[in-house]
Structure 1
Amino acid sequence: IPIFLSETPRLFDENILPLDAALIQVSPPDKHGYCSLGTSVEITRAAVRNAKKIFAQINRNMPRVHGDTFVHMNKIDAYVEYDEPLVEVDYSKEISDIDRIIGKRVAELVDDGSTLQLGIGTIPDCVLKSLEDHKDLSIASEMISDGVVSLMEKGVVTNRYKTFHPGATTCTFILGTRKVYDFVNDNPNVLVLDIGITNDPAQIRRNPKMCAINAAIEVDLTGQVCADSIGTMHYSGVGGQIDFMRGAALSEKGKAILVIPSQTSKGISRIVSTVSFYIYS
């Protein structure tokens, strides 16, 4: 879809893509009848706003997360109670020595008092592990994972200087292991918000020293970057990298940082004269 990820809620809000039904997964209702969308708000919030019918799976393994997550049982047309484990991702088992070196180098670029957005993958996780000696960091990200937990518990992340929801870590979805899912459960210091808000460059740029740290697949000498595809093959879906890179570049003393190993595991250069039209691994 030729669209910025921050604009996707408009497809539903403006009826460009009409929704007959939304299938959602939620936490059990609280004593007031409110369920939580839990770990994943992103465009689901817009779907709930606009769908003619809402069908829910109530899963006791879904954490009750604060923010723009709550859906009252009266809004749900039909539901099924079915408990199953949430999807877990653990990149710590895949980290290489090169990833650790890059993580340390990137951490050196982050000033105390910065607001961070980190993408998904081994290198962003290594960056988080290398930030434990920093002070007064903030998180205003598209996603958070396990690495954010230890920084918040150790007082490295205070969310003191951010202007977008100061005092709270903000994101639009959470992906990691049970460690982060348990941490965010009923934690008022973590807010999960609509992606049209978290990924809006106008909101992102409000944070001084905004650092957007994202991984890429390939970069060429003209500055073109491949992050979603490998040649003609889509490697990932439409992401928020561009939203945050733009917002960080516009932020006062902000930094837009792309991280990439110089070679693939097969020794093929990721730094090329022109971005590839072929597929490699």
Structure 2
Amino acid sequence: MDVQALYQEKLMTIEEAVGYVKNDSNVILGMSVAMPPGLITGLSRRIESGDLDKIYLYYMHGSQTLQNTLLKEALQEVVCPRPMFMSAFDRHAIPQDHQGWMQFVPATFHQVGRLLTEHIDPECFMVTVSPMDQHGYFSLGTNADYGATVIRKAKRIIVEVNHHMPRTFGECSVHISEIDHIVEHDKPLMSASPAMPSDVDLAIARQISEMIKDGDTLQMGVGGVPNAVLGELTQHQDLGLHTELFSPAMVDLIKSGVINGHRKSVMPYKHVFTLAIGDEAMYRFMDNNPAIVGYPAAWVNHPNVIRKNRNMISVNAALEVDLTGQINAEQINGHPFSGTGGQLDFVRGAYASENGRSVIALHSTAKNQSVSKIVPRIQGGVVTDPRMDTHFIVTEFGAVNMKGLSISQRAKALIELAHPKFRDELRFEAQKLGNI
């Protein structure tokens, strides 16, 4: 097979490629960094020309380009977004009087690839990839997640080649024979650098860092606290990574040898991830780095895989915790804020690990201390982590192990984790509910 000749045969303009999208079809977009800006913009132009009546978009974690094109209010009659995890870009695209337009699809991350290939008809998959190598392989780079599953099962595969996308290993390689259409579009990748941790972030992070022992394998979620925790681990030794998200704060720990994977049970010496969001320096570090391996979320996030890592510790964030230990990490006032993601996958997988620990971290308050995030009952409308799965909960006021505690013990312990200004009110509500 002459892969260069095949490449030229499949190469086309963006306008030609999006012309293959069928009316009334399910279009799956690569996630986050892998969301192809050229193809998205081209598809938007085609819709604005009146050439399509209806398409259904499936994806996780949108992008600025998506917000500015396919999620424009003017296209609501044609574009039906069905995200499985929402970002700020998705939330900002929803007009206040059209909350029902964004049709959120609940899904735990390790099941997303299966849902997209077995429970909907994956007519077209569009994704950003690295340039092809001499053997005819592209790389999914930052995003194995559901992409590594969908790209082998969707009916039509359109890739957007971008020289900025790093080449990564694991299950990220895709041969040109598996691709239908190729476009070329170089654009800097989505960038997200961690903000400086607040005093509250640091207070929580210091407690969690004391729970992490030399030789532990880590999963760190999204947000200020997980980043702050990584910043507190510079004196640890022989840590491993089996994580949903690969982030910039992990790079320095790998470079210094703190994270080396020597004691990992599953894939020792390899830094396992399923998606990466960071800055240009992180993407350069990932490029052609044989120690960094991406695998589908169906494997990385499966609790039965996670549990095989001895001394597994997961750290994730929450929007609110009720007095029985139920966790809401995805809705505010009944409206989707993010999504289930992989939190429950790791809460269950980490606790099932030998000597495993699962940590949910949150600030005790929000909105300038006007709202308590420890609440009598979940206000957001959904439970991300059932109370029987919750292990450690940490705020700036302390940490509690929920396992083995009665409802009364839980309520009393969680009230002590709340901000002092809300504790009397929480005790009163707990008594009304019969929790204490």
What TM-score do you get using the length of structure 2 for normalisation? Answer: 0.62
Distance, in Å, in 2 between the alignment partners of 1:266 and 1:101 is 17
Tell me the amino acid that sits aligned with residue 234 of structure 2: E
- Which of 75, 84, 89 in structure 1 is aligned with 2:178? 75
Does the residue aligned with 1:92 lie in a helix, a strand or coil? coil
Does the residue aligned with 1:258 lie in a helix, a strand or coil? strand
1:102: how far off?
Answer: 1.1
1:2: how far off?
Answer: 4.2
Tell me the amino acid that sits aligned with residue 167 of structure 2: R
Distance, in Å, in 2 between the alignment partners of 1:179 and 1:233 is 35
Distance, in Å, in 1 between the alignment partners of 2:151 and 2:317 is 31
Question: Residue 96 in 1 paired to residue 190 in 2?
Answer: no
Distance, in Å, in 2 between the alignment partners of 1:81 and 1:25 is 9
Distance, in Å, in 2 between the alignment partners of 1:203 and 1:277 is 30
Aligned to 2:311: 209
1:250: how far off?
Answer: 0.6
| Unaligned segments of structure 2, at least 5 residues | 1-104, 382-436
Distance, in Å, in 2 between the alignment partners of 1:208 and 1:148 is 20
Deviations 1:151-206 (A, max 9, x none): 00001011112122111000100011112111110001110101100001001001
1:256: how far off?
Answer: 0.4
Distance, in Å, in 1 between the alignment partners of 2:263 and 2:288 is 24
- Which of 222, 245, 253 in structure 1 is aligned with 2:355? 253
Distance, in Å, in 1 between the alignment partners of 2:235 and 2:358 is 21
Distance, in Å, in 2 between the alignment partners of 1:103 and 1:157 is 18
- Which of 104, 109, 116 in structure 2 is aligned with 1:5? 109
Aligned to 2:162: 59
Aligned to 1:231: 333
Aligned to 2:150: 47
1:71: how far off?
Answer: 1.0
Deviations 1:29-61 (A, max 9, x none): 011111101101101111111111110100000
Go from structure 1 to structure 2 and tell me whether the alpha carbon gap of 1:277 and 1:212 turns closer, same or farther (over 3 Å shift). Answer: closer
1:91: how far off?
Answer: 2.1
Q: What root-mean-square deviation, in Å, do the aligned CA atoms of Structure 1 and Structure 2 show?
A: 1.3
Aligned to 2:284: 182
1:3: how far off?
Answer: 3.5
Aligned to 2:273: 171
Aligned to 2:36: none
Aligned to 1:152: 254
What TM-score do you get using the length of structure 1 for normalisation? Answer: 0.95
Distance, in Å, in 1 between the alignment partners of 2:231 and 2:210 is 12
- Which of 124, 128, 133 in structure 2 is aligned with 1:21? 124
Does the residue aligned with 2:365 lie in a helix, a strand or coil? coil
Structure of higher CA gyration radius: 2
The answer to whether the 8 Å contact 1:206/1:251 transfers is yes
1:277: how far off?
Answer: 4.5
The answer to whether the 8 Å contact 2:125/2:151 transfers is yes
Does the residue aligned with 2:152 lie in a helix, a strand or coil? helix
1:92: how far off?
Answer: 2.2
